[in-house]
């Protein structure tokens, strides 16, 4: 999730340096005061904290403490700190500002910004942290009280150890094992210290990406960034699709044309990834998500402005076969989200999925979908779907991963 202000400073920063699932925001400020989340922090020094996290379907969950009570939060470096309306009603924190936001679906709303008097991560205490008050059906499925975002991390070195499911917070780099050969310059700024760094595409061009632990993908590329390379023989368009492939804070995106792309090679801090397949979106920034943690540990040094990726191996082949459709839950029904390639002639985005391999789907909820139930049902290289279109016509189709 990302938050942007319309301040001239951050606009220039993005132009010079340059995306939620899950929680992807772009904002316009509706107050005269410039919005910033880069306030508050910890008074501790020489600290070192190991924070366990759960990793479920690409989403990182951790426990924080507020008012002496343990709370479940999503760890999202692409977002500012956020709390749910229910936690807001309990804490009654001071409202310090508000902002109008529009998310990746194009929907708009106004959210309050509050100041959290106290929050703890293990033994590390933070005070005066700005937080959005936001609500989403996603939060209810995850049973979370909010999001731990990049603004609370901005004065720390953050190391993610996927093998141990640990997040380390420290202000002393000597307490960490760091390979200086695997470091890249890190760029952050207003309004929330969202971390950016550069990757190399096919040994020819660089691309600025955000590191977004709120996204369960490896790479998600914006349509605008992809178009910059169309004449450079770097990106191959392998399929065209239409529909909805993204759910954001305020709901489903508007159906649109999408592209599946293949990048022959991509280099992050010396590690080469080959045969990278990604899908375009119309958001503002290309991003690297939590899928990178399948291949190595990540360190975000906000203090000295470095990003580290230390892989288990030097070359990773990401070749994979994909289904020619994606599912979403809309109006409490499992439906076709995106249709790719030749399948577009047979079914449409929005068609309801009645069965998968003769297993009924009518009872699949948003929470089931988020927790991977559909992926579990599509666990073979071929599948047969029963579909109902908007005219209540029933049809069966067979599909194969491509």
pLDDT digits (tens, 9 = 90+) for 304-355: 999 999 999 999 999 999 999 999 998 889 999 999 988 988 999 999 999 9
Q: Domain with 332 in it: what CATH number?
A: 2.30.42.10
Residues of the chain with pLDDT > 90: what percent?
Answer: 75
Please tell me whether residues 308 and 331 are part of one structural domain: no
Of the three residues 153, 174, 195, the one that is the final residue of a domain is 174
| DSSP structure class, residue 371 | T
Among 152, 174, 196, identify where a domain stops. Answer: 174
Q: Is 100 contained in some domain? A: yes
Same domain, 156 and 27: yes
Structural tokens at position 167: 């997040």
Q: Tell me if 258 is assigned to some domain.
A: yes
> Are 294 and 333 in a shared domain?
no
Instruction: Please check the confidence at residue 5 and state whether its pLDDT lies above 50.
Output: no
d(CA 371, CA 58): 10
- Among 3-7, 25-29, 48-52, 248-252, where is mean pLDDT lowest? 25-29
Q: Are residues 32 and 122 in the same domain?
A: yes
Q: What is the pLDDT of residue 28?
A: 32
The residue count of the chain comes to: 402
Say how far apart CA 357 and CA 112 lie, in whole Å: 46
Three-class SS state of 11: helix
Q: Is 25 part of any domain?
A: yes
Examine the domain organization and report whether 170 and 256 are in the same domain: no
Instruction: Judge whether residue 53 has pLDDT over 60.
Output: yes
CB atoms within 10 A of CB 17: 16
Q: What is the pLDDT of residues 151-205, one digit of tens each?
A: 999 999 999 999 999 999 999 999 999 999 999 999 998 999 999 999 999 878 9
CATH of the domain at 25: 2.40.70.10
162 and 69 in a common domain: yes
* Residue 89 neighbours by CB under 8 Å, 6+ apart: none
- E strand segments, 144-291: 146-149, 157-161, 166-170, 183-185, 196-201, 205-211, 219-222, 235-243, 247-248, 251-252, 256-268, 271-281, 287-288
121 assigned to some structural domain: yes
Spatial separation of the C-alpha atoms in residues 114 and 154, rounded to whole Å: 18
Domain annotation covers residue 34: yes
DSSP 48-100: EEEEE-EEETTEEEEEEEETTEEEEEEEETTS--EE-HHHHHHH-PEEEEEEE
Same domain? 182 vs 126: no
148 and 260 together in one domain: no
- Residue 29 counted as domain residue: yes
Would the pLDDT of 56 be above 60? yes
Same-domain status, 351 and 293: no
Contact in structure between 213 and 76 (CB atoms under 8 Å): yes
Counting beta carbons within 10 angstroms of the beta carbon of residue 270, is it exposed (0 to 12), middle (13 to 18) or buried (19 or more)?
middle
* CB of 302 closer than 8 Å to CB of 213: no
Residue at 2 is within a domain = no
Whether 189 and 105 share a structural domain: no
Q: Residue 215 sits in which domain range?
A: 176-317
* 296, 317, 338 - which closes a domain: 317
Do 82 and 167 sit in the same domain of this protein? yes
Instruction: Quote the number of domains for the chain.
Output: 3
């Amino acid at each position: 999730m990302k938050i942007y202000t319309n301040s001239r400073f951050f606009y220039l920063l993005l132009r010079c340096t340059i995306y939620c699932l899950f929680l992807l925001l772009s904002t316009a400020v509706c107050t005269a005061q410039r919005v910033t989340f880069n306030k508050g922090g910890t008074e501790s020094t020489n600290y070192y904290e190991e924070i366990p996290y759960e990793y479920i379907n690409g989403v990182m969950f951790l426990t924080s403490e507020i008012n002496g009570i343990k709370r479940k939060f999503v760890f999202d470096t692409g977002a500012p700190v956020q709390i749910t309306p229910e936690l807001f009603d309990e804490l009654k924190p001071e409202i310090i500002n508000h902002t109008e936001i529009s998310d990746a679906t194009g929907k708009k709303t106004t959210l309050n910004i509050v100041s959290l008097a106290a929050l703890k991560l293990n033994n590390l205490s933070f005070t005066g942290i700005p937080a959005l008050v936001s609500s989403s059906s996603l939060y209810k499925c995850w049973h979370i009280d909010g999001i731990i975002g990049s603004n609370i991390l901005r004065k720390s070195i953050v190391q993610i150890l996927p093998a141990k499911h640990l997040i380390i917070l420290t202000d002393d780099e000597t307490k960490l094992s760091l390979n200086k050969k695997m470091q890249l310059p890190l760029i952050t700024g207003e309004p929330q210290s969202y971390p950016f760094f550069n990757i190399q595409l096919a040994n020819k061009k660089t691309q600025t990406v955000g590191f977004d632990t709120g996204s369960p993908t490896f790479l998600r590329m914006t349509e605008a960034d992809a178009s910059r390379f169309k004449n450079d023989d770097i990106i191959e368009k392998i399929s065209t699709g239409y529909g909805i492939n993204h759910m954001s804070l305020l709901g489903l995106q508007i159906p649109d044309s999408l592209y599946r792309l293949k990048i022959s090679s991509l280099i992050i801090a010396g590690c080469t990834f080959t045969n990278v397949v990604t899908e375009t979106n119309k958001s503002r920034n290309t991003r690297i998500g939590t899928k990178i943690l399948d291949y190595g540990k990540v360190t975000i040094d906000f203090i000295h402005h470095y990003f580290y990726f230390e892989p288990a191996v030097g070359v990773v082949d990401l070749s994979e076969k994909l289904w020619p459709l994606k599912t979403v839950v809309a109006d409490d029904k499992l439906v076709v989200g995106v249709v790719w390639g030749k399948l577009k002639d047979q079914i449409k985005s929005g068609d309801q999925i009645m069965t998968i391999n003769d297993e009924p789907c009518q009872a699949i909820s948003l929470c089931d979908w988020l927790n991977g139930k559909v992926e579990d049902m599509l666990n073979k290289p071929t599948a047969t779907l029963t579909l109902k279109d908007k005219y209540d016509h029933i049809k069966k189709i067979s599909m194969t991963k491509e």
